[in-house]
Amino acid sequence: MTKIMVSISPGHSDNHPGACAYGYREHDIARSITNPLFGTKYLNNPDGPVFVGWFPWLQEDKLWLEKTYTTQLRDRMRVMNSFRSHVAVEIHLNAANSVQANGLEIIYLSTKGKKLAECIQETFSTEPQTNNELTTKHLLLSWRRLISMATLGRYLYFLKATKMPAIIFEAGFITNDNDRNFLLTESGQDIMRNILVKGLSLYAERYL
Ligand SMILES: [Zn+2]
């Protein structure tokens, strides 16, 4: 089986953090989910995906840091494409006027992107989440939908600009108490990473 290489990045930036609710910022939560994917736990996983990404905040060089923070999305995509990875994933959180809106949602553009989204959906449905103590205390994120960019009716630059099959992984709603509280916990973030990693491995097994 080919080892799958994944370009991954949290949506938005420090200066433009995306959706904000109850003092929390979308970019910060997306970053907390994404960062550990570059840590030893995932690096040492022999069968798991290899993550490459756009991580200006992990760079020690301050000049580079300042430069990248102000870099336009277009340049950011150029870097993402330069990795020549198999697939690309961007982590986001949804927001809605209704505080009831909740759940995980994946947006795709291409046919291969859809296949990747389906692999993650499949993993989500089979993941034994009920064993987790957290999920008995809070409502676990439910599955919301798997939707194409066309059906959604929004122009998503990330999906348009990536050369490889790509998805936007909306980990939950920042505006929903259960989703937000779940995604703010270490174990909630870990569950999201596991779903991603397993879904990506499933895609590699089937399509690479
Ligand atoms: Zn977003």
Range(s) of the domain holding residue 10: 5-207
90 CA → ligand 1 middle, Å: 9
- Name the band, by pLDDT with cuts 50, 70 and 90, for residue 129: low
62 CA → ligand 1 middle, Å: 26
Give the integer Cα–Cα distance in Å for 34 and 195.
Answer: 13
User: Global pTM?
Assistant: 0.88
pLDDT digits (tens, 9 = 90+) for 28-37: 999 999 988 8
pLDDT digits (tens, 9 = 90+) for 192-201: 998 999 999 9
145 CA → ligand 1 middle, Å: 16
17 CA → ligand 1 middle, Å: 8
Give the integer Cα–Cα distance in Å for 106 and 125.
Answer: 14
**CATH value at residue 12:** 3.40.630.40
Q: How much is the pLDDT for 138?
A: 52
25 CA → ligand 1 middle, Å: 10
Q: How many structural domains does the chain have? A: 1
123 CA → ligand 1 middle, Å: 23
**Helix 177-184 and helix 186-207, axial crossing angle in degrees, nearest 10:** 90
Give the integer Cα–Cα distance in Å for 168 and 47.
Answer: 23
